[in-house]
Amino acid sequence: MKLTDNVLRSFRVAKVFRENSDKINCFDFSPNGETVISSSDDDSIVLYDCQEGKPKRTLYSKKYGVDLIRYTHAANTVVYSSNKIDDTIRYLSLHDNKYIRYFPGHTKRVVALSMSPVDDTFISGSLDKTIRLWDLRSPNCQGLMHLQGKPVCSFDPEGLIFAAGVNSEMVKLYDLRSFDKGPFATFKMQYDRTSEWTGLKFSNDGKLILISTNGGFIRLIDAFKGAVLHSFGGYNNSKAVTLEASFTPDSQFIMIGSEDGKIHVWNGESGMKVAVLDGKHTGPITCLQFNPKFMTFASACSNMAFWLPTIDD
């Protein structure tokens, strides 16, 4: 089944889960699309089975809190940042609920965490104005970059380069093998005083970069030239909430939630809005991602919703 405008417009909420008492701050699908794991401001980690459409397990990180949860490549292991006590990144085995390793180094809150799509490398960005490069096998930071401001960062789909968004006005591209030499490309954007960048993602085909902000717009840029292809707006975000924007797996569509619980979808090529879906969320949709393998996506406020298409196009 192929994603088209009509298929996207036909998506409806199939199931809503109310496992959390506070907002879900992040979730991540497993690479095989069979499970999704969420982290919440109520200190819980909830694992959902996507095929059966039900929660499987709940774990807690009461002492350190939990944010920015990400699957690693090994089944049943995740990394996540802390939002209490310290700014150490933790590597957890879900199998026995034990920590495998800690990654200390950041001195302020971690605001970006991206796992390499190909190996055990990951990068983190923090309010301490650094980006750190890590390897799951070692607690020591493998590389450190000092920046002028708050960073957002992400790997490209081949795991060869990563992009860092700095000061909400420039995107720098680094080669992983020689990133200490500095960026091989820098794209300067028009600075917008009304909002700051909150996220950066590559499309699966590696050709596009999506920049999310805490304002009322997101930007789509060419990953090779840095040209702004489209700015998407017209969704509610008056309280400067961090809303997650995502690509569909085919790199064709871009979606973001909003303050009023609706999801807006655009065609990346034409820039046209193709759908506004009502998820009946009780709060702002802070997290939104498409399943990498199956025709379904999930959205979250303090509740988690699974969506399915209602037509076969």
pLDDT digits (tens, 9 = 90+) for 241-253: 889 999 999 999 9
Q: In the prediction, which pLDDT does 181 show?
A: 87
Q: In the prediction, which pLDDT does 147 show?
A: 87
Beta bridge partners of 78: 71, 92
Cα(107)–Cα(132) distance, integer angstroms: 12
177 or 128, higher pLDDT: 128
The dihedral region occupied by 63, where left means phi > 0, alpha psi between -120 and 50, and beta the remainder, is alpha
Share of the chain above pLDDT 70, in %: 99
Q: In the prediction, which pLDDT does 1 show?
A: 72
Q: In the prediction, which pLDDT does 241 show?
A: 86
Q: Are 211 and 188 spatial neighbours (Cβ–Cβ below 8 Å)?
A: no
For the chain, the DSSP string reads ----HHHHHT-EEEEEE---SS-EEEEEE-TTSSEEEEEETTSEEEEEETTTTEEEEEEE-TTT--EEEEE-SSTTEEEEE-SSS---EEEEETTTTEEEEEE---SS-EEEEEE-SSSSEEEEEETTSEEEEEETTEEEEEEEEE-SS-EEEEE-TTSSEEEEEETTTEEEEEEGGGGGG--SEEEE----TT--EEEEEE-TTSSEEEEEESSSEEEEEETTT--EEEEEE-S--TT-----EEE-TTSSEEEEE-TTSEEEEEETTT--EEEEEE---SS---EEEE-SSSS-EEEESSSEEEEE-SS--
Q: What is the mean pLDDT of the chain?
A: 92
Can you read off the two tokens belonging to residue 69? Answer: 């949860």
pLDDT (tens digit, 9 = 90+) per residue, 257-311?
999 999 999 999 999 999 999 988 988 999 999 999 999 999 999 999 999 999 8
Q: In the prediction, which pLDDT does 63 show?
A: 84
Q: In the prediction, which pLDDT does 84 show?
A: 83
Please check the confidence at residue 75 and state whether its pLDDT lies above 80.
Answer: no
Question: Where residue 222 falls among pLDDT bands split at 50, 70, 90?
Answer: very high
Q: Average the pLDDT over 67-73 and give the result.
A: 92
Please check the confidence at residue 17 and state whether its pLDDT lies above 80.
Answer: yes
Q: Average the pLDDT over 26-35 and give the result.
A: 94
CATH, range 5-309: 2.130.10.10
Please check the confidence at residue 313 and state whether its pLDDT lies above 70.
Answer: no
Question: Where residue 192 falls among pLDDT bands split at 50, 70, 90?
Answer: confident
Cα(97)–Cα(90) distance, integer angstroms: 12
Please check the confidence at residue 209 and state whether its pLDDT lies above 90.
Answer: yes
Cβ-proximal residues to 160 (8 Å cutoff; 6+ apart), any chain: 175, 176, 177
Cβ-proximal residues to 74 (8 Å cutoff; 6+ apart), any chain: none
Domain boundaries, the chain: 5-309
